[in-house]
Structure 1
């Protein structure tokens, strides 16, 4: 999302990465919630009227991304498509890849985090913590580049828990840059460096999955450039 410039429905329509009769995949901007919170405010869902593209109803969210996370967001265009998407997501059949910048990284170049997650505070249901009594949670990762105490890391969540990547990354000592909840924040109030880079959705049995990729948001692209990383 452009700094200090309002984001509107026309901007959202211009960020469609894939469109067919069943689903849409849009490039969600960082800093904009997907739906209204308790305090209301501008959100992506209120702009879905611009994404009908000839159908009688607005598309609907098939999953969620955090307010400050950018990238691939999948929408269903009607009830049957949403039912199919619900099964795919709940059964772990939707492939998701995230890009992140972390403060530090293990010496290894790749690995897997198996650490159950549970709500850390009942009053803040989105705040997660590693807990042996929590739900099974697994994330694969690989380091794409390192520089100046930072790492460019690709994460592949194998389960779909709230804040899974953020909590898992912090748990193994590589908190995300700009993460005020699980990480160390960042210099000069750095924004969260987490981006839903790609998604693979097997909507039709016997057919290739729908695949989409989203370019990194401006603040992450700037970090990549400053570190001399090619993304």
Structure 2
């Protein structure tokens, strides 16, 4: 356990202790700092305080930062839908509802746990928590992911993603009737100022993001579309479609609460293409539409939500 002693400057008079701590220890989340205060790992003038405590000039703050517990990801016997596998790469069709990799507080039941239960030779470039993981899709998005078994494969696949030479096409149901048959959304994406768990189109601390869309089928209140990613930002399709006024069905984070009956956003990574790291051959894979989205299409064609 490491201890630090700091003193409060006159300029910080009246600042909440958790806000003050977030500036003094960059990189730590506000929630973790609040928990440290509650656990009496942060003392002011030798005494425990509440998170609402307001700092006073020359307060002596003693900070006890516990050493992080070593994380160990356990292999689990979880069924996998493996579309392709050789000694370099695995292509997996991930079900909706499965998290891609573990994180503190959610260490089991993930795709990585399942992969480790299937094979032990995964790339170590992304560390113990994300072995083999080159890219991710959201928990409530289904579809294709490429996984690297070797570091050489990992570097090759990551470079292809960076150079925008992979092919990634998604199928989605969105709210509203899209007026254009196809289009391109070129709008930078960054983290929301109001909700750190959300992304948004913004020029502030953002990254270039491009999504191409094409209408497959129109209904009275919804549209079935394909979306091709040119870049791969967090929640990109969800944010971009909401930005043009057509949020994904089943996605109340970015769209209306009243939506189609599906557990998670109606989004499926249906097509994935990349150059094999060893053979240099372009490989293209497809995953059929999951049954939940297929059922929604059947009901839409039967005019259930007109």
Task: Give the TM-score normalised by structure 1.
Answer: 0.86
Taking the TM superposition and a 5 Å limit, the aligned residue runs for 1:18-33 are: 18-33=84-99
Number of matched residues? 216
Q: Deviations over 1:112-158 (max 9, x none)?
A: 0011111114872x521111232111110011001131110100111
Which ranges in structure 2 are unaligned for 5 or more consecutive residues?
Answer: 1-75, 124-131
**1:11 — aligned with what?**
79
Taking the TM superposition and a 5 Å limit, the aligned residue runs for 1:50-199 are: 50-52=117-119, 57-58=121-122, 60-121=132-193, 124=196, 126-133=197-204, 134-187=206-259, 190-191=262-263, 192-199=265-272
Task: Give the TM-score normalised by structure 2.
Answer: 0.66
Determine if contact 1:106/1:173 at 8 Å carries over to the other structure.
no
Alignment counterpart, residue 49 of structure 1, candidates 109, 116, 128: 116
Higher mean C-alpha displacement, 74-83 vs 205-214 = 205-214
Higher RCO by CA contacts (8 Å cutoff, separation 6 or greater) = 1
Counterparts of 1:58 and 1:158, CA distance in 2: 27
Q: Provide runs of 4+ in structure 1 moved above 6 Å.
A: none
Counterparts of 2:77 and 2:225, CA distance in 1: 32
Counterparts of 2:248 and 2:195, CA distance in 1: 24
Which ranges in structure 1 are unaligned for 5 or more consecutive residues?
Answer: 1-7
Counterparts of 1:19 and 1:47, CA distance in 2: 15
Counterparts of 2:258 and 2:275, CA distance in 1: 37
Higher mean C-alpha displacement, 146-155 vs 57-66 = 57-66
Counterparts of 1:168 and 1:188, CA distance in 2: 19
Give me the CA root mean square deviation.
2.2
Counterparts of 1:47 and 1:205, CA distance in 2: 25
Assess, with a 3 A threshold, how the Cα gap between structure 1 residues 75 and 31 changes in structure 2: closer, same or farther.
same
User: SS in structure 1 opposite 2:207?
Assistant: coil
Q: Deviations over 1:79-138 (max 9, x none)?
A: 1111111111122111100000000143111000011111114872x5211112321111
The structure having more radius of gyration, on CA atoms, is: 2
Counterparts of 1:28 and 1:88, CA distance in 2: 21
Assess, with a 3 A threshold, how the Cα gap between structure 1 residues 37 and 148 changes in structure 2: closer, same or farther.
farther
Residue 21 of structure 1: how far off its partner (Å): 2.5
